[in-house]
Amino acid sequence: MRVRAGGASEVGKVREHNEDFYGVDPKGHIFVLADGMGGHAAGEVASRMACEGIVRALLPHREGLVELADDGRPDSRQTLLSALRGAVIAAERAIFDAVAGEPERKGMATTLDLVFLGAGTAFVAHVGDSRVYLLRGDTGRLLTTDHTVSNFLKAQGKTETEIAAHPHRDKLVRALGMSGGAEIDTLQLDMRVGDRLVMCSDGLYRYLKNPMHLAQLYGPRDPSEASKALCDFAIECGGVDNVTVICVEVLDPGARPTSVETDSKISALGNISLFQNLTYQEMLQVMPITYERHFKTGEVIINEGESGEELYLLIRGTCDVVAGDIKLATIKTGHPFGELSLVDNQPRSATVSAAEDCGVLVIRRADFEMLTQSGPLATKLLWNVINDLAARLRAASDRIREQGEQLEEKD
C-alpha cells in the first residue's frame, strides 16, 4: 500500500499556546492526532503524551501489524485492533500517572484519533470529538462520531429542540484521561486509489458546512499543501481554537485480502433486521467483525443439529436448505441465514450447503457480543435483537392461531 501524507498545526488567533499534537509515519502506516484540554498547559501535555506514547507502542511492531492486515483472517484482524486499542489504553494510563505525580494538572485530558493503514484498509481508533473524514472524488463522508453530550442525547431519542436547549450539549462525554477506561470506537474501511483521509481537530471542522465543503477546500492539492491550506482557512474564518490537520492520499491500495468493499458490505448488512437503522459511522464499527468465506459446490456450510455460532450473508451464488432428506428452500444472493445464532446457542434446524461456488459474509457470535457491551451502538443493536425476536414471536403466534382456526373449521 503506497500513500503520501502531510500535516500542519497552528495555534490560531485566540489561544496563547497550541494544545493540539499530531504524528505522521514517514512509511505511511501510522497517523495520530490529539486535541488536549485542561488548562495551565496541561492540555498540551496530554495531547503530546498520547501521540508520542502511541507511536512508541506501535512503531516497533509496525511490520507485524501490516502482516496481520495482509492476513485477512478474523482473528488476525482482531489482534491488530487489540494492538491499536492497547496503545490507546496505555496512553491514557500514562496521562493518569502524570496527573498523580503533578496534581496541578488534574483534569487534563485529550481527544485521540489513530489511523493504521495496511492491506488496502484503514483501521481507525477514535475517542472524543476530533474527526476523520473520507474524501472520495468530489464527495466526502464523516467516518467518526463525536463523543459529545449532544450526540449522546440524540442516541437517547431526544429531539433537536431538547438537544439545542441543553446547556452542556457541546461538552465531551469521552476523552483520554477524563474518567479512566475511555470507550474506544474502532472502525474499518477499504480504500481505493485516489481516496484521501483528513484527520482534524475541531479548530477546523467548526468552520465546515459539511464533508462536501471539505472536499472542495482540499481540491487538487497534495497532502502537505492541503494540510496547510485547511489550517489557513480555519484561521481566516476566525481561528478561535488551535487547528491541526493530517491529510493522507492513497496512491496504490495494493492487494486486499477481501473481495467485497466496505460500502457493498454495508448495503448487504443493512437488509438484515439486526443491523437496520444504523448510521454509516455505526456500520463502520460493525465492519471489523465481518469477514468473508468461500465454499465450493456441494460443500456444507451449516450442519443440522450442530450448535450455531455464526451468522451468514450470501453475497455470491446460491445455497440449498435441507432438513433430513427434504429440501426446504434455496437461498439466493443477498439473503442471510443462521442469524438466530447471534442471540442463542441452539442446534441448527437444517443443513445449508453450497448449490454452486458461493461467497458469504460471516459474523461470529463472540464478536457480535463485543459490540453489545456499551455505548449507543450497543443500545441500537440490542433493540434490534429485541424487535427481531418480537417479530418472530408474533409470526409464530399468527401461525399457531391460523392452525387453530383451521382445526376448528374441520371440527
Give 339's DSSP letter. G
| For the chain, domain boundaries | 2-252, 262-371
248, 301, 265: which is closest to 6 by C-alpha? Answer: 248
Question: DSSP characters for 89-148?
Answer: HHHHHHHHHHHHH-GGGTT-EE-EEEEEEETTEEEEEEESS-EEEEEETTEEEE-S---B
What is the predicted pLDDT for the residue at 368?
86
Question: DSSP characters for 261-275?
Answer: -HHHHHHHHTTSGGG
Cell reading at 1: 500500500
**Nearest 10 degrees: Cα torsion 13, 225, 122, 199:** 10
What is the predicted pLDDT for the residue at 408?
65
Do 343 and 359 touch, CB atoms closer than 8 A?
Answer: no
What is the predicted pLDDT for the residue at 248?
98
Which residues have C-beta within 8 Å of that of residue 100, sequence separation ≥ 6? none
pLDDT 10s per residue in the chain (411 long)? 999 999 999 999 999 899 999 999 999 999 999 999 876 568 899 999 999 999 999 999 999 999 999 987 888 989 999 999 999 999 999 988 888 777 777 778 999 999 999 999 999 999 999 999 999 988 999 999 999 888 878 777 788 888 888 887 888 888 998 876 778 999 999 999 999 999 999 999 999 999 999 999 999 999 999 999 999 999 999 999 999 999 999 999 998 877 789 999 999 888 888 888 899 999 999 999 999 999 999 999 999 888 888 889 999 999 999 998 889 999 999 888 887 777 777 788 889 999 999 999 999 888 888 888 777 788 888 777 777 767 767 776 767 777 666 666 666
Do 348 and 303 touch, CB atoms closer than 8 A?
Answer: yes
CATH topology of domain 262-371: Jelly Rolls (2.60.120)
Q: Cα–Cα distance between 71 and 410 in angstroms, integer? A: 62
146, 130, 143, 138: which is closest to 213 by C-alpha? Answer: 138
Say if pTM beats, i.e. exceeds, 0.85.
Answer: yes
CATH topology of domain 2-252: Phosphatase 2c; domain 1 (3.60.40)
